[in-house]
Structure 1
Amino acid sequence: MTDTQRRVAIVTGGSRGIGRAVSERLAADGQAVVIAYAGNDVEAKATVEAVEAAGGNAVAVQADVADETAVRSLFDLAEQRFGGVDVVVNAAGIMVLSPLADAGLDDLDRMFRTNLRGTFVIGREAARRVRSGGAIINFSTSVTRLNLPTYSGYAATKAAVEALSPILAKELRGRDITVNAVAPGPTATSLFLDGKDQETIDRMAKMNPMERLGRPEDIAEVVSSLAGPARWINGQTIFVNGGVA
């Protein structure tokens, strides 16, 4: 397969957690993957090496997803290295938990900057550059339905992502580009596990009828479909949570 035939994906937050699983899955599907990461060079290098060891093709680029100049450079690199962009996955995100009464506004601003502004900036560039037949996949969360205490700020940023995704889908009418959001439930990543005691983790694992936490690979499987064969799903939020909500 030549570079002109191969699909090319940009995955933000692609060096760890769900983002890493998505990067590895899309590479296994035959896509060239540009992994955008915030700052951990070791994790980014390890992800690229894992992709290449499995026979895939990937490159890692440090980029602030909320910085429009950095995002333009990210897309420039993808086009220069692989010839274009077909799939964009917005997996970058941060989560700070606190009751609303005790929430710090600096933490709220950080979450909005990465989770919402980052999705907006990446989405704007994707709308300008993704090739016909492509897909834009944003990340929400099942917490927008579960209404769990301490998640108000995080859920608010993700509810906004759910709102903008179907609007962008309609704005791209006639270009054969799908736009969807994926909303994971509790998933065994550091983003979810950090700061939680074992009792809380066990309780949340049993919230769904499958009685386990999601695995990053569970989420990557759905992203893989949206990034490839699932062309008739558009403007939707897909809840990937084992039936918790």
Structure 2
Amino acid sequence: MAAGISRFEGKAAVVTGGSRGIGAAVARRLAAEGAAVAIGYRGNQEAAEKLVAELRAEGARAVAVRSDVADPEQTKDLIERAVAEFGRLDVLASCAGIEHFDALENITPADFDRIFTVNTRGQLFAVQHAAAHLSEGGRIVLTSSVSASRAVFGHTLYASSKAAIESMVLNLSAELGARGITINAIAPGGTATDMAAEHAASYQHPELKGTVPMPQWEATHGALRRLGRPEEIAAGYAFLASDDAAYMTGRTLQVDGGYF
């Protein structure tokens, strides 16, 4: 980030899934540019509170709120707590999500419900509850994935849940645009997070698993020949949440290092 940039001075943001990975990087980026930040987390209280302490030590206003996006009432509470704490809401960055890999014959209704409840329904109701507090100039940034437009073995549920987000922002852009609110999505590519480390090998073709070292595979599947860093993905969220993107809505921005 360029020194002296304060695009969010005096503004308040909610970041779901903000205790780790991309979400934590987004919280840091928004706070570094002046935003007061409410960090929603599901289970990792220690990481969330550590991040809040870090942000406060750097002069930011920050609070952590336990909130499972699978429960819309908890998301509503997160947003209302943020408004009560900061007196306003200007940005929603929806970063919470879960992965899934399995073959078609193994997918169960419970799998479907679990993935879509968090990745799709959770983001929809985050938008609904945030929109109740956003005014003209409000910004909503959801999370899709490059998987929404790539074919990967065993990735049907996850990819479909993210593809729905791209349709969601497109269709909600008209409704929210009438109120001067923009809504877009980021589609991250492979990013160096703990979730990526856990699931990275599953992205390989089944016939390649165990035969190609992951660093070599990653280097041959992107123009920049590496995984992204969380802070590089967070830069995309900050752009879409800022006035620099005031004329961009209903779109999905791929931040993927030229993934192919």
Alignment TM-score > 0.5, same fold: yes
CA deviation vs aligned residue, 1:185-233 (integer Å, no higher than 9, x gap): 1111111110445823541343111000011011100111111122111
> Which position in structure 2 is the counterpart of 1:213?
227
- Give the Cα–Cα distance (whole angstroms) in 2 for the partners of residues 101 and 200 of structure 1: 27
Greater Cα shift, 111-120 or 53-62: 53-62
> Which position in structure 1 is the counterpart of 2:213?
199
Alignment of 1:164 with 2:168, yes or no, is yes
Q: TM-score, normalised by structure 2?
A: 0.88
Q: Check conservation: 1:14, 1:23, Cα contact below 8 A.
A: yes
- Give the Cα–Cα distance (whole angstroms) in 2 for the partners of residues 134 and 13 of structure 1: 20
What SS class does the counterpart of residue 46 from structure 1 fall into? Answer: helix
Amino acid at match of 2:218: M
> Which position in structure 2 is the counterpart of 1:10?
14
Q: 1:8 Cα shift?
A: 0.5
Q: Check conservation: 1:6, 1:31, Cα contact below 8 A.
A: yes
Q: Check conservation: 2:149, 2:163, Cα contact below 8 A.
A: no
What SS class does the counterpart of residue 137 from structure 1 fall into? Answer: strand
CA deviation vs aligned residue, 1:135-187 (integer Å, no higher than 9, x gap): 00000000112211121110010011111111111101332211001000111
RMSD: 1.6
> Which position in structure 1 is the counterpart of 2:34?
30
Q: Check conservation: 1:67, 1:121, Cα contact below 8 A.
A: no
- Give the Cα–Cα distance (whole angstroms) in 2 for the partners of residues 17 and 126 of structure 1: 22
> Which position in structure 1 is the counterpart of 2:256?
241
- Spell out structure 1 runs of 4+ moving beyond 6 A: none
> Which position in structure 1 is the counterpart of 2:43?
39
Q: Residues 230, 48 of structure 1: CA spacing in aligned structure 2 closer, same or farther, 3 A cutoff?
A: same
> Which position in structure 1 is the counterpart of 2:60?
56
Amino acid at match of 1:74: L
Q: Check conservation: 1:178, 1:233, Cα contact below 8 A.
A: yes
Amino acid at match of 1:230: A
What SS class does the counterpart of residue 194 from structure 1 fall into? Answer: helix
> Which position in structure 1 is the counterpart of 2:6?
none
Q: TM-score, normalised by structure 1?
A: 0.93
CA deviation vs aligned residue, 1:47-69 (integer Å, no higher than 9, x gap): 11221222222100001213222
Amino acid at match of 1:212: R
Amino acid at match of 1:219: I
What SS class does the counterpart of residue 182 from structure 1 fall into? Answer: strand
Alignment of 1:222 with 2:236, yes or no, is yes
For structure 2, list consecutive stretches of 5 or more residues without a partner in the other structure: 1-8, 202-211
Q: Check conservation: 1:84, 1:131, Cα contact below 8 A.
A: no
- Give the Cα–Cα distance (whole angstroms) in 2 for the partners of residues 204 and 151 of structure 1: 18
CA deviation vs aligned residue, 1:60-86 (integer Å, no higher than 9, x gap): 000121322222211211111101110
Alignment of 1:123 with 2:127, yes or no, is yes
Q: Residues 195, 165 of structure 1: CA spacing in aligned structure 2 closer, same or farther, 3 A cutoff?
A: closer
